[in-house]
Structure 1
């Protein structure tokens, strides 16, 4: 079983357990549920912002522990003060060391758009994302059929949230595009080898229709690369490990963002 299949199998068990503990009716009573989400698309297109979606990630299957003791409060506030356009918060515990509480903390201290980064496979998770205060959900083409992307995307949009569709190659892009997503992200990491290559984004940028905001993800380790990708048409830059490897991720983000055009 490859890592993605293993993660999804584990996620199905997690979701089943969560449904028992926190029924939908309980999620809908959250203080955030009636709130109006903030548009990541608009924030990425703001001239006073960097386009960087700064991520809080404690560990990953490819790198192991990255920053186990990060302060979500300090880091999320610092990211936004550094000029980030939005936050990405991992909520998968088993493989990425995140929790739903991390997203709640980020939401409590920031008005910016927040992406719930997780493996979304069930409508329950979409409702859960709204209850946590997320503004955007991630749908990964590698683990979903087009009809699943459409139904999960439609539900998210009906709740006022936006949808970031993540693709790894042209085949995924072609079979997954739908008006039920708002942004399209190209992941530069090969899920089989875990190697990153930004050429993946360069190859796909012109194949993504312009009605979608274009986001590039993974392997963005220097400002020059981001500046190059910006010129090619990307408006969003999802950066996690580059910042999280520092003891003070928010300071690393500030130095990085200063060098963007």
Structure 2
């Protein structure tokens, strides 16, 4: 069993335990279930440059514990002050140290689009995301077959949630496009980290992003450690980058995001100047 399979199984079993205690009807009674949602696509398709999805997470399978003092609402507020376009919140418990309560706390602090990041495979998990304040959910192509992917996209859209559909290869992108019209998906992300081996390849974005529909927000995920990395991904066709570990390892994640945005702007400007000089 791969690491991805283990994470998917753990997340599903935890959701099934919660469902036995909190049925769908109880989720529907939460005020957040009926609140208006914010558009992930609109937040990421910025006319003024690269958007940043800043992530809140305490740990990961590839890195282990990332920070001891983890306060997701505080981190999200700092990210907003540093001009994040959206916030990703890990809710997977077993290996990421997340919870749905973290998502709910972040919702009370920021008015940016919130992404529930987890290993979602059943409709109940989509309803949970809505009930705890998410505006969008992550769906991982590698964890789903085409019929289940289509089912979960439909479940999300019926609840007014956006979708960040994650792929790791051209084959996964083709499978996803056969299941759903990618032009109707709010965001499609290329994860540079293989969730089965955890190896990182930043070159994936250049191979996949240009072939995605222009209507969707194109997101580059994982392995972004510098402004040069982010600028390279922007030049590969990314509308946004998702950054987590490199921010959460810093004493002040918000300040780290502000610094990354400045470095990216400088790198992009330098690239434009170099292109003009060589033309």
Query: Does TM, normalized by the shorter one, top 0.5?
Result: yes
Distance in 1 (CA, whole Å) between partners of 2:161 and 2:115 is 10
The structure-2 alpha-carbon separation of the partners of 1:43 and 1:254, relative to structure 1 and needing over 3 Å to count, comes to same
Instruction: Give 2:256's match in structure 1, choosing from 237, 252, 258.
Output: 252
Deviations 1:134-187 (A, max 9, x none): 001010000101111111111111111111110010100001122363211000
The answer to which of 125-134 and 186-195 deviates more is 186-195
Match of residue 9 from structure 1:
9
Instruction: Give 1:225's match in structure 2, choosing from 225, 229, 233.
Output: 229
TM-score (norm 1): 0.96
Distance in 2 (CA, whole Å) between partners of 1:32 and 1:17 is 22
Match of residue 205 from structure 1:
209
Match of residue 162 from structure 1:
162
Offset at residue 47 of structure 1 (A): 4.1
The structure-2 alpha-carbon separation of the partners of 1:192 and 1:77, relative to structure 1 and needing over 3 Å to count, comes to same
8 Å CA contact retained: 1:43, 1:49: no
The ranges of structure 1 where at least 4 consecutive aligned residues each deviate by more than 6 angstroms after the TM superposition are: none
Matches within 5 A, 1:12-91: 12-47=12-47, 50-91=50-91
1:140 equivalent to 2:144? Answer: no
Distance in 2 (CA, whole Å) between partners of 1:246 and 1:78 is 13
Distance in 2 (CA, whole Å) between partners of 1:47 and 1:105 is 30
Deviations 1:185-208 (A, max 9, x none): 000002233121210111111221
Q: Any stretches of 5+ residues in structure 1 without a counterpart?
A: none
8 Å CA contact retained: 1:141, 1:166: yes
TM-score (norm 2): 0.90
8 Å CA contact retained: 2:12, 2:120: no
8 Å CA contact retained: 1:49, 1:83: no
Larger radius of gyration: 2
The answer to which of 12-21 and 41-50 deviates more is 41-50
The structure-2 alpha-carbon separation of the partners of 1:49 and 1:21, relative to structure 1 and needing over 3 Å to count, comes to farther
1:216 equivalent to 2:216? Answer: no
Q: Is the partner of 2:116 in helix, strand or coil? A: strand
8 Å CA contact retained: 2:53, 2:242: yes
Deviations 1:215-246 (A, max 9, x none): 00000111112112212321110000110111
Number of residue pairs the alignment of both structures matches: 261
Deviations 1:46-76 (A, max 9, x none): 3467500000011111110001322212210
Match of residue 123 from structure 2:
123
Offset at residue 249 of structure 1 (A): 1.1
Match of residue 176 from structure 2:
176
Distance in 1 (CA, whole Å) between partners of 2:45 and 2:217 is 9
